[in-house]
Amino acid sequence: MRVLLTGGSGFIAAHVLDYLIQRGFSVVTTVRSSAKADKIRAAYPTVGTDRLDFAIVEDIAREDAFDDALTSFTPPFEAVIHTASPFHFNVTDVQRDLLDPAIKGTTGLFRSIIKNAPTVKHVVITSSFASIVNPFKGSWPEHTYTEEDWNPVTLQQASESIPNGYRASKTFAERAAWEFVQPQQQQKKVSSSPASSFSLTTFCPPMVFGPVMSHNLSSLDNLNTSNQIIRDLIQGKYKDDKMIPENATFTWVDVRDLALCHVLALEKPDEAANQRFLVAAGYFCNRELVEIIRKEHNGLRDQLPAESSPGGGYPEAGLYKIDNSKVTKMLGFSWRKFVDTVTDTVDSLQKVSNIM
């Protein structure tokens, strides 16, 4: 199957790409520069351009950003996996830096598929737990989050803080995706015409941890956002602090499990088509993170906050629950354990910093 993967230089996309290649797909991935394409290409020296090729899309927010990517390759695409979206807090203008690329990147991609690539039958989007969680309810111990939940954030609230802006970017983009696809699905039912119609799967992961692909990383300073807490801990950022930093999010998933979900969605279209999945492996707090690093990576003990440091635990009032039964059942595999994910992440960060 021929797949367009957007944002191939990203942390999660690198693992999606790896599974796609391993499992026999033919992939074109979009990156923002030919230098980024060259680095990925160098990591797959034995894979030909028929299995791995690149399209440059400098800014997904631009009008018609994906037109060339969708029209310049043969054979035509049958599926699209859309991971590209800003996930960082280096933001001066929430609308321009977060909302526009997330929302216009998604709706522009969809319009471009309809216009240019009628052979695309399935689109998978990396959405986020940010589009599910209700941040205004805090730790909400009496609630269990499922795929039915939607973040109620408004445009006004999006502009009030950068974290709100990020969560809104994912919420509005995912809503726009479902709104775009639903009329198409209705039309397909009525006319029984398959023309210009694709099904949608969205994955909503919370904090994604896991090993980084070193070819995508020029420095640990450029590390993806979600792994930064692990980098900061092992680099000693909090060793002299009196407190372990508090969590912003208490649920997590391993990047390799999440990436495999994206690929399984293409391999199991009957289970995944037109489904939204909350993809979480379990709960964690930063105190547990510190203790795993202390236990499993003896040489890093001096970099960590002292064992007696307070903070970094679960909320005293209790924590919301998450229900991951839908994805576990539909896609059918067991989740990696937190200790293994943290250990593999630390190993990979150490490897990258030794290489650099």
> Which residues are near ligand NDP by CB under 6 A?
7, 9-13, 32, 57, 59-61, 83-87, 101, 126, 128, 170, 205, 207-208, 224, 226
Tell whether omega for the bond before 86 is within 30 degrees of 0, i.e. cis.
Answer: no
Task: Tell me the C-alpha distance between 60 and 6, whole Å.
Answer: 9
* Side-chain-side CA neighbours of residue 33 (13 Å): 4
Output the smallest distance, CB 302 to ligand NDP, in A.
28
Task: Tell me the C-alpha distance between 27 and 80, whole Å.
Answer: 10
Q: Which is nearer to ligand NDP, 112 or 197 (CB)?
A: 112
Q: Which is nearer to ligand NDP, 58 or 241 (CB)?
A: 58
Task: Yes or no: say if 228 and 52 are a contact pair by the CB < 8 Å rule.
Answer: no
DSSP 336: P
Output the smallest distance, CB 108 to ligand NDP, in A.
11
Strands 251-254 and 282-283: antiparallel
Tokens at residue 177, please? Answer: 């995706």
Task: Yes or no: say if 259 and 16 are a contact pair by the CB < 8 Å rule.
Answer: yes
Tell whether omega for the bond before 75 is within 30 degrees of 0, i.e. cis.
Answer: yes
Output the smallest distance, CB 190 to ligand NDP, in A.
33
Output the smallest distance, CB 121 to ligand NDP, in A.
22
Q: Which is nearer to ligand NDP, 235 or 249 (CB)?
A: 249
Q: Which is nearer to ligand NDP, 12 or 79 (CB)?
A: 12
Output the smallest distance, CB 171 to ligand NDP, in A.
11
81 Cβ contact partners less than 8 Å away, ≥ 6 residues apart: 3, 4, 5, 6, 13, 16, 20, 123, 124, 125, 126, 262, 266
Output the smallest distance, CB 241 to ligand NDP, in A.
23
Q: Which is nearer to ligand NDP, 187 or 323 (CB)?
A: 323
- Residue closest to ligand NDP, measured at CB: 10
Output the smallest distance, CB 35 to ligand NDP, in A.
10
Q: Which is nearer to ligand NDP, 123 or 197 (CB)?
A: 123
Task: Yes or no: say if 231 and 306 are a contact pair by the CB < 8 Å rule.
Answer: no
Cβ–Cβ contacts within 10 Å for residue 178, how many?
Answer: 15
Q: Which is nearer to ligand NDP, 199 or 227 (CB)?
A: 227
* Side-chain-side CA neighbours of residue 270 (13 Å): 0
Output the smallest distance, CB 188 to ligand NDP, in A.
27
DSSP string, 262-274: HHHHHH-HHHHTT
Q: Which is nearer to ligand NDP, 127 or 197 (CB)?
A: 127
